[in-house]
Structure 1
């Protein structure tokens, strides 16, 4: 096992935080700010704008397995730079878009690039620098950059939209994403040249690999070859992996509504706009705590217990939202409770996918495994707003939130069951 200097590790975390704060924030956190202007300028319906987000999520889910596989074949710097440039180009395409289909294509390109450098790249890079005990905490801190960036990007972009034409704001955002992303990718992003190994029998593994009939050259210093785990093929042969993924898709249905529909709901129960903005700021701060705290939770109490805590946080949040419909006197309390509890819970869909795959199935082919797993959450997230909207339009907010409560209970119950089952097999400690 080799140890990198603390300075190098801190620099990598700082670089990842900057990527999450600006390129990721521009691609993922600020698009809702443009909704009103798209509806006003191009007369898009709410449903049409919803398709922009859905297509982006689906495109990301489709590219994830391919991008994950490419991380085992190409340098991490090259892959992350490619994702950063692609993401910025997608945002730039919005600056010349005038038709709905153009915005759909722009969203797809943006999200394909974003999942490549953020959803897959950041966890892969962190895993080459930090050992099993510290990588979850490091990943949580890295992803906290998104919350920090969101805190500053929201007022900046809002101010730009109030003073400049829509296309110019898109152009400025894309340019900022491109410049910051390329500078960080070129000068700060690089893998540990001697990645940490958790495999106890590395020597025997190398001897075994040289005795096989596979004539393809191997790189023994690559994380995929020196880390423990059963690998992509054996993982995808496990029924428990697919069951785990399906239950995480159900959780994605709930996450989508809880993340996107809060402003509409709070307005519907007559919370004033100014207070909704304050609630949103509270949520951003809680997300910062949740990202950092979630990483430490994974390290200290394990994956299952950390996800059980996330289950409780989401369950209480949804119950309070439902209660605010029947008891108007607690609506303000429920709104701020959502901001705090759901914000603290942010780790359950930011760092959790990577931590779960690395912890349950090991580091071998981890990006490829994560790419497949991410498809399910992305599909759930993409469909969540549409399903929630259908319930609201047809039955009202009460039925809609009850449906979310069901997703939370079913999704987390299944997820926790299969996490326990998979841990019994200790796949992460084996070698393919």
Structure 2
């Protein structure tokens, strides 16, 4: 038996960490730092430029099911390298854009090709290497790259932008993304253990000459057709949509809320930073929790913690509760990033994982697009966030109860089979 240290899956997890620290973090978690500089320089309104983020989310949602099928048909390394190159060049091209339609067009391209370099291929690869044992830890390591990347990007670009301008910051980030994504995709990422003569983590290591999957790597679980025709899938999708609504609805409005209840901009930034810092650790902690405690108990603990965090947010006028919110919310926020991929593989298996996950991500993105708009609408209508947070507490109860219902349905289906 080979030494465990030689198991290549951990290098795949590390490579995934690096990739998610760049395109995923830059596009989905830290692009908002360009909002004020771009709108001031080009005369756009905040609403006009914010549509860039919405277009990215919609394009990602539409393309996700398609990308889920593509990664099953072709070598995932080349798909990731190609998509990484297109995404990087498109992001850098924002620095050349001067008209709104140019930003919108680039956003559509960015969102569509981002599906081939972020959650879907990474989750697919991690599941191949860690189908059961240590999957939570490996997924957590990979997805923690997003939080660390966002933190470093915001810190670096916020300091650079006043000195070199937003255009050069776009060029810089696009260039770094291009080098990182292409090199890591081609030279670090490996689609499955048999490509290197290994077996998934937890199985006995054997030499495999053929790159095709061996009998021990036979895929189990649902096909996409079986999944979408089952009640399990649609109950699960409801929970996923609600998860996207609540997490995006809270996270995007934290600074605005803190200032609306009398805290300074600097305190609001501190609270946001604490959420980001805790989020770096959150992915591994959530992965370990779900792996050790199981889906039902693990998700129950996460649900209770998230409800407690929003209660603290309601009491956020007191600085102590605001900080407590940031610590608790940040510690469990990773369920929104890695949850869809981890839970989907646990419920539906590997047989058609890429296609099922792509569809799940589509619904999650739609929920994520609705959340911030809902929060903003309620605030504009009532002049406060209190009603928003109460609604989100209720939605969290429904969300995690729905997840538990989906797990129970899945267990019954497995017993029936």
Q: TM-score, normalised by structure 2?
A: 0.90
Cα 1:346–1:158, aligned 2, differ >3 Å: closer, same or farther?
Answer: same
Partner of 2:233: 241
Partner of 2:45: 45
Question: Is the contact made by 1:19 and 1:181 (CA closer than 8 Å) also made in structure 2?
Answer: yes
CA RMSD of aligned residues (A): 2.5
Cα shift readout 1:84-109 (whole Å, capped 9, x = no counterpart): 12221221231121222222222222
Partner of 1:349: 336
Cα shift readout 1:241-296 (whole Å, capped 9, x = no counterpart): 01210222122111112111101111111212222222222212211121110111
Question: Is the contact made by 2:125 and 2:191 (CA closer than 8 Å) also made in structure 1?
Answer: yes
Question: Which of residues 240, 243, 251 is equivalent to 1:251?
Answer: 243
**Cα distance in 2 between the residues matched to 1:187 and 1:105:** 31
Partner of 1:265: 257
CA offset at residue 357 of structure 1? 1.1
CA offset at residue 320 of structure 1? 1.7
Question: Is the contact made by 1:60 and 1:115 (CA closer than 8 Å) also made in structure 2?
Answer: yes
Partner of 1:70: 70
Q: TM-score, normalised by structure 1?
A: 0.87
Question: Which of residues 376, 397, 405 is equivalent to 1:417?
Answer: 405
Cα shift readout 1:131-158 (whole Å, capped 9, x = no counterpart): 4021121011111112222232211110
Partner of 1:148: 148
Partner of 2:368: 381
Question: Is the contact made by 2:92 and 2:170 (CA closer than 8 Å) also made in structure 1?
Answer: yes
Cα 1:390–1:84, aligned 2, differ >3 Å: closer, same or farther?
Answer: same
1:391 lines up with 2:378 in the alignment: yes
State which drifts further: 225-234 or 289-298. 225-234
CA offset at residue 370 of structure 1? 0.3
Question: Is the contact made by 1:136 and 1:296 (CA closer than 8 Å) also made in structure 2?
Answer: yes
In structure 2, the gaps of 5 or more residues are 204-210
Cα shift readout 1:375-424 (whole Å, capped 9, x = no counterpart): 11100101111111110000121222222223222222222211222123
State which drifts further: 302-311 or 182-191. 302-311
Cα 1:239–1:131, aligned 2, differ >3 Å: closer, same or farther?
Answer: closer
Partner of 1:214: none
In structure 1, the gaps of 5 or more residues are 201-218
Question: Is the contact made by 1:55 and 1:108 (CA closer than 8 Å) also made in structure 2?
Answer: yes
Cα 1:277–1:323, aligned 2, differ >3 Å: closer, same or farther?
Answer: closer
Cα 1:12–1:52, aligned 2, differ >3 Å: closer, same or farther?
Answer: same
CA offset at residue 371 of structure 1? 0.4
**Cα distance in 2 between the residues matched to 1:406 and 1:41:** 41
Cα shift readout 1:323-361 (whole Å, capped 9, x = no counterpart): 33xxx3x2x122212221111112211111111111111
User: How many pairs align?
Assistant: 405
Deviating above 3 A after TM superposition, structure 1's stretches of 4 or more consecutive aligned residues are: 1-7, 195-198, 222-225
